[in-house]
Homo-oligomer: A and B are copies of this chain.
Amino acid sequence: MSDLLERLRGRGWRMTAQRRVVAEVLDGEHVHLTADEVHARAAAKLPEISRATVYNTLGELVSLGEVVEVSTDKRAKRYDPNAHRPHHHLICARCGSIRDVHPTGNPLADLPASERFGFTVSGVEMTYRGLCPDCAALV
């Protein structure tokens, strides 16, 4: 987990207690938390941390490429700390739970030039949807 902190320090991040706990929360579990969940977990370690700081820090981590935003159908964005390994997502349409998945194939190669409309294409996200075992059992 100090890997992440080292990388950030190496990039000129001023290291504060707030940034440290946010980084630790994200680095600690490979689940996909909302900003509010990150705030709650961070506040457990550093009670006076503000929501604004959590949003700021998450935004910085995203632009540094350390964390990826995932938009599910639910309203709140989720933050995926597993940004260093390329992967895609499988989301339960009912409960919103997310798994990281690794499909075979190369989806970027599947978009021919004629379908690019002059865009400079830099990446692709695949979002598989379905029902998780628990939710499927309820239906």
Contact = CB atoms under 8 A, between A and B. Distances in A.
A85 interface: no
Main secondary structure of the interface of A (DSSP, over half): mixed
Contacts of A116: 90, 101, 130
A116 B125 CA distance: 17
A110 B105 contact: yes
Interface of A: 69, 71-73, 90, 92-93, 99, 101-105, 107-108, 110-112, 115-133, 136
Contact of A103 (B69, B107, B127): B107
A38 B123 CA distance: 29
A125 B125 CA distance: 8
B119 A92 contact: yes
B71 A121 contact: no
Given A71-B73, A125-B127, A133 B119 contact: yes
Given A105-B105, A125-B126, A126-B124, A132 B111 contact: no
